[in-house]
Chain A
């Protein structure tokens, strides 16, 4: 049986085009105070006439509108989503239920500490778990995503070095790094020096040693890196950087490979971030919200954002009295709702479960690699952990690119892998299965990839015109950028 069938998706216009005067989808309680006319309360200079263009629809239409839209999305509950570096794992339903418990969800961030003990316990316990998983000393759950955590982490390094007399000028970043790394370093006031990868897909330690100087604040590395390769020389790297007074920031986007196997705090890492929306199963929500806890060693702890969640006897409290803190990056305590889900996940999996997740994620990636390596070019033959990067080198000769392979996968019922990243691999296809899938699902994906590699030889047109089974065929991105229609107009 083939995985896809002909789908008949209903069309649906923009909500504004569904609108009709007098329709409504809401009810409000009767006003129980004196109904003073607005104009008697506020001068007309403050008032608008109406929100021009706002839709008016009934509840039935509204629900159908969004339900129809939703059917046009691929999603994890439908099937495998092998996006490299994104860790698209299953998002447990229990997390969602727990996060909606009214006593947890309907709480105000500024209510008194004694009225927030349950929430503070959630934050504190999650911090403790993350410390144990990483062998680090202190945590802030405030950053709303990985990029914000990177900014905070680099600012903490900057504060530390400033106190020692010189904030320094440069940040070293491997050429395989996520784009957020250099963008965050610049935001923290640093210039970026790129470090090339060696023939094995790892940081070129020799070049690193040459580039490292007393003007380098830190090295930002991802481990395992975006090739899925563990930086085996991490201790030597740490020594090179630390010897010259620099620090090491680790992008923990790939932490799903390490749980229960290795801890950044034992590798010489000074500060790292984790992504609750990757490793700890909180949903991606079509682009967010995420959460990027920043986790550090004792010597950087004074600089963490405030407030810090601390335990004092039986009570939990928020402590803002940290004069050396780099400040805030988010109002209140960050994306608390994601912390609730992550703690729920950690407790559901338990210590053995977390380790098993990493094992199955690594096994699944290696299985895919072995079964596909004869069909797609492997730019590096180095052993991998949780993800594998292929290239389109073999297919390119037939005039077929990574983009075409990705689009053709859609016709086979799969979300494509991450494409054209990392930048060090031309035509990269970056596959991260995670631990969530059955062997049957993995095999179906592998079979689809192999079938596509055969199509490249026999009938490349099938790839060039793909996808044909989705709601739309390929979209004109050049036209989108040129015309830049970013909103509906009547």
Chain B
């Protein structure tokens, strides 16, 4: 057993020191009838070679971005990942350490997290960001719970154009807390129905939740939604599932958002079949003591040297138990480091350039799709297309050409079974974009 370092002789010595004859005796506090008498039905140990063979064979049973060009987004985006990221996060110092509860020997993680918090503030235009939550869905849930806590109100308006999986997570979290979730419809442009919002929102509302770019890829009317929610004292919660868009788009903070939650997967984290990803959470300074999750703050040591510690811990479960602002303990520390490295690699110029490439490539497709587009609103790198046949059927056709097509919208919106949500990133080539448009419109593109 290569993960154990005790020799048989050392084991004997240790047993002797411990005062028992056999290692089984150490389990004597487990009642006899509860002790397992059979051998576990789990395979015998496999060699490293066999394990590699096995997992490689599993990899070959999947389609992956190594072999296919993806036009599938919907909350998980195939973006460029700079090589240096894996070099940094593969350092044992970062990936095999624990939560930095002992700051004197955890300054690396702490400073990197402080930088992450700063980068997320800058990206979202907010004043304070935490050290990460699990993913976009639970970040939304935590954002709504914080709004409920802060306003002491129980009603929440949630746009139907917020990612459907995030909404389901929110429903799970809110189910037994006497919170009333109400849906906010969207218009033909794909934007939230502002008139409906004006009509529905009241002083009973804790929060109004919208997403931009929303699930349909449309840049939503964030400013109006924020204004209307704040006019009745509700907090505006803005969801961002494509974090890269903030390299180019006006950040929610600049528009006055109270809470920004989102998914940071776009920031250097591989598609990874859906996880681990990165929950983002940012808010205004005045709400910092209501925030969920860990926070790193700056301080000094006993000799006056600058350093960092986990702080405002009296919000957290290990101190406050049932009165904590959230039950979260483990977060997505290493994924936050990935995002920090990603944003530092790209920097001020790169984040803009990368976002612009997404916009321009998607715009190229948008022009080609013309009348097949379902929503008229402006888009970043995703759009909904009306298909002439079953989108799943179209996708089957595309696979033979090395393309993984968009998301058949019927998966989440049964009434939209003929529509497809298509995503274009910097990873897509002109050739394949043209080919996709060709198949989707069934009209030959002339180059």
Contact = CB atoms under 8 A, between A and B. Distances in A.
Given A54-B347, A150-B327, A487-B129, A336 B274 contact: yes
A289 B333 contact: yes
B135 A118 contact: no
Nearest to A114: B63
A70 B96 contact: no
A323 interface: no
Given A25-B347, A71-B108, A109-B273, 20 more contacts: A26-B82, A66-B341, A69-B112, A74-B106, A103-B60, A132-B40, A144-B276, A144-B332, A145-B329, A151-B327, A287-B98, A289-B134, A330-B134, A336-B276, A355-B40, A383-B26, A439-B14, A472-B107, A472-B307, A476-B302
B205 interface: no
B443 interface: no
A286 B29 contact: no
Interface residues of B, number: 200
B250 A284 contact: no
30 contacts: A32-B430, A48-B251, A69-B111, A75-B94, A91-B96, A96-B95, A104-B64, A107-B62, A110-B407, A115-B62, A115-B399, A116-B62, A148-B327, A155-B172, A180-B329, A189-B176, A261-B27, A261-B35, A262-B27, A266-B36, A281-B3, A283-B95, A331-B277, A335-B276, A338-B275, A340-B55, A353-B3, A472-B303, A474-B104, A487-B121
Interface stretch (A240-248, A293-301, A361-369, A451-459): A361-369
B64 A53 contact: no
Nearest to B10: A439
A16 B274 contact: no
A151 B19 CA distance: 41
B3 A288 contact: no
Contacts of B353: 28
B56 interface: yes
A73 B108 contact: yes
Contact of A363 (B3, B11, B296, B317): B11
A51 B297 contact: no
Contacts of B137: 328-331
A53 B122 contact: yes
Interface string B144-176: 000000000000000000010110110111011
A473 B301 contact: yes
Interface string A55-98: 11101001101110111111111100101001011111010111
Contacts of A351: 39-44
A101 B97 contact: no
B300 A24 contact: no
B18 interface: yes
B27 A73 contact: no
Interface string A220-238: 0000000001101011000
A330 B42 contact: no
B4 A110 contact: no
A146 interface: yes
A33 B425 CA distance: 12
A151 to B, nearest CB: 6
A392 B362 CA distance: 63
A155 B115 contact: no
A294 to B, nearest CB: 13
B43 A470 contact: no
Contact of A286 (B43, B48, B337): B337
B435 interface: no
Contacts of B417: none
Interface residues of A, number: 200
Contacts of B303: 472-473
Contacts of B134: 144-145, 148, 288-289, 330, 335
Nearest to B412: A110
B390 to A, nearest CB: 13
A336 B272 contact: yes
Contacts of A34: 360, 364
A476 to B, nearest CB: 5
B5 interface: yes
Contacts of A350: 42-46
B378 A357 contact: no
A59 B84 contact: yes
Contacts of A344: 51, 55
A4 B305 CA distance: 22
Contacts of A23: 347
Given A59-B345, A96-B90, A73 B109 contact: yes
A108 B103 contact: no
Of the listed residues B18, B163, B318, the one surrounded by the most CB atoms of chain A closer than 10 A to its CB is B18
A289 B94 CA distance: 12
B422 to A, nearest CB: 12
Nearest to B311: A480
A112 B408 CA distance: 10
Interface string B404-435: 10010001000000000000001001100100
Of the listed residues B34, B300, B359, the one surrounded by the most CB atoms of chain A closer than 10 A to its CB is B34
A292 B3 CA distance: 23
A483 interface: yes
A195 to B, nearest CB: 14
Interface string B108-144: 1101111101110111010111011011111000000
A209 interface: no
Contacts of A185: 322
A289 B335 contact: yes
B397 to A, nearest CB: 13
B402 interface: no
A73 B93 CA distance: 6
A184 B60 CA distance: 40
A358 B247 CA distance: 49
B317 A327 contact: no
B65 interface: yes
B311 A287 contact: no
Interface string B216-230: 000100000000000
B359 A229 contact: no
A381 interface: no
B318 A179 contact: yes
B334 A283 contact: yes
A373 to B, nearest CB: 11
A247 B78 CA distance: 43
Of the listed residues B78, B112, B254, B364, the one surrounded by the most CB atoms of chain A closer than 10 A to its CB is B112
Interface string B47-68: 0100110111111111111100
Nearest to A96: B90
B19 A94 contact: no
B344 A57 contact: yes
Of the listed residues B29, B54, B302, the one surrounded by the most CB atoms of chain A closer than 10 A to its CB is B29
A24 B349 contact: yes
Of the listed residues B43, B107, B312, the one surrounded by the most CB atoms of chain A closer than 10 A to its CB is B107
B240 interface: no
A334 interface: yes
A81 to B, nearest CB: 7
B295 interface: yes
Contacts of B187: none
Given A63-B84, A285-B333, A180 B327 contact: yes
Interface string B13-32: 11101111001001111110
Contacts of A364: 6, 14
B118 A487 contact: yes
Return the 5 tightest CB-CB contacts between A and B, nearest first.
Answer: A103-B59, A332-B274, A189-B176, A350-B45, A285-B334
Contact of B94 (A70, A88, A147, A349): A70
